[in-house]
Structure 1
Amino acid sequence: MSESYRDTYVTGLVNARALETQAIQLLSRQVERLENYPEVEAALRRHITESEQQRDRLDGILSALGTSASGVKDLFTGLMGNVAALAHAPMQDEILKNSLANYAFEHFEIASYKSLLTLAELAGDTQGPTALQQSLAEEQRMAQWCEDNLDAIVRKYATLTAQGAKAGV
């Protein structure tokens, strides 16, 4: 592996691992508050499990490259995930804000995994891309779920609000 490509790749892997830690924290805080959206809760719980597996895959790639994740980055991004989730909590339309943020976050993760695949190629890593492709596919499925269910979530929120029911979560 070319050292400069390898270093850039390793940095990307460490950043992606921290991003998965952030996703786990963000989604975990959201599922704690869902009451009226069992379909959203189920999808988020599935994706939390996938995100934990993605983080493990990234650990495996880093280990194969003779390095490991950054505890400082994990701590910081985990904290940011908690803060982001809590920022929406007092909002009447929390479910809408979370749905929009999740949709955007999934696309950020998709871009991250696509970038890692390019970096893996440049660095000459022939083993890591299999795990990266699997994680990419999971992120794409979740992004598609967010897109496919956004209309239903908005409609349910609007209907509950119109009925005077608790609609935000």
Structure 2
Amino acid sequence: MTDRESFKHYVDWVRDAHAMEEQAETMLKKMADRLEHYPLLQQRIVQHIAETQNQQRLVRAVLERLDESNSVLKDAAAKISAFGQGIGGLFASDEVVKGGMAGYVFEHMEVASYSALISAAEYVGDLEGATVFRQIKAQEEEMAAWLQENLPAVTLEFLRRSDNPDLDAKR
């Protein structure tokens, strides 16, 4: 390990990743609760919630091993942001499609974050952290790929349900 400025940046980015996973969990739970007519999407989101909770534990373990702690302020801000996004979805008639698109974008942000963390971990000599971040990055890539593959079908199902006055398309 190094005591240079790069280590400080690295720790800050690991804290950011923890806050990002807190935000992801909050957003995913809000979305999963409102997807009763989209069971495949709901099932995959529930699976990713479990992955996200494990990712939080893994990132927290990296911080603990570095003798650092997560940022309570960053975690709280991330949760508040996710809560606001969740509340905003309540009023959108096309929430399932917009939520899917937002999820796809968020997954790619996570992939980018973990790509940077892998490089930073290697630079400061935290090879164990780099291994953890590779594992998490692969899960985020899998979720992004799933959304890319399945969002067209979710969109079509939403449109079919929207065209039928007897069906609820929103949930």
- Normalised by the length of structure 1, the TM-score is 0.97
Give the length in aligned residue pairs. Answer: 169
1:114 corresponds to 2:112: no
CA shift for structure 1 position 88: 1.6
CA shift for structure 1 position 33: 1.2
Aligned to 2:141: 140
Aligned to 2:154: 153
5 Å matches for 1:2-151?
Answer: 2=2, 3-151=4-152
List gaps (5 residues or longer) in structure 2.
none
CA shift for structure 1 position 76: 1.0
Instruction: Give the whole-Å Cα distance in 1 for the aligned partners of 2:96 and 2:29.
Output: 14
What amino acid maps onto 1:25 in structure 2?
A: T
Instruction: Give the whole-Å Cα distance in 1 for the aligned partners of 2:109 and 2:149.
Output: 18
- Percent identity between matched residues is 31
List gaps (5 residues or longer) in structure 1.
none
Aligned partner of residue 127 in structure 1, secondary structure:
helix
Aligned partner of residue 68 in structure 1, secondary structure:
coil
CA shift for structure 1 position 79: 1.2
What amino acid maps onto 1:16 in structure 2?
A: A
Aligned partner of residue 73 in structure 2, secondary structure:
helix
What amino acid maps onto 1:49 in structure 2?
A: A
CA shift for structure 1 position 63: 0.9
CA shift for structure 1 position 15: 0.2
CA shift for structure 1 position 114: 0.3
**Deviation by residue 1:34-54 (Cα, 9 ceiling, x = unmatched):** 111011110110001101111
Any runs of at least 4 consecutive aligned residues in structure 1 with deviations exceeding 3 A, and if so which?
Answer: none
What amino acid maps onto 2:47 in structure 1?
A: R
Instruction: Give the whole-Å Cα distance in 2 for the aligned partners of 1:56 and 1:104.
Output: 23
Aligned partner of residue 110 in structure 1, secondary structure:
helix
- Normalised by the length of structure 2, the TM-score is 0.96
Instruction: Give the whole-Å Cα distance in 1 for the aligned partners of 2:57 and 2:168.
Output: 38
Aligned to 2:170: 168
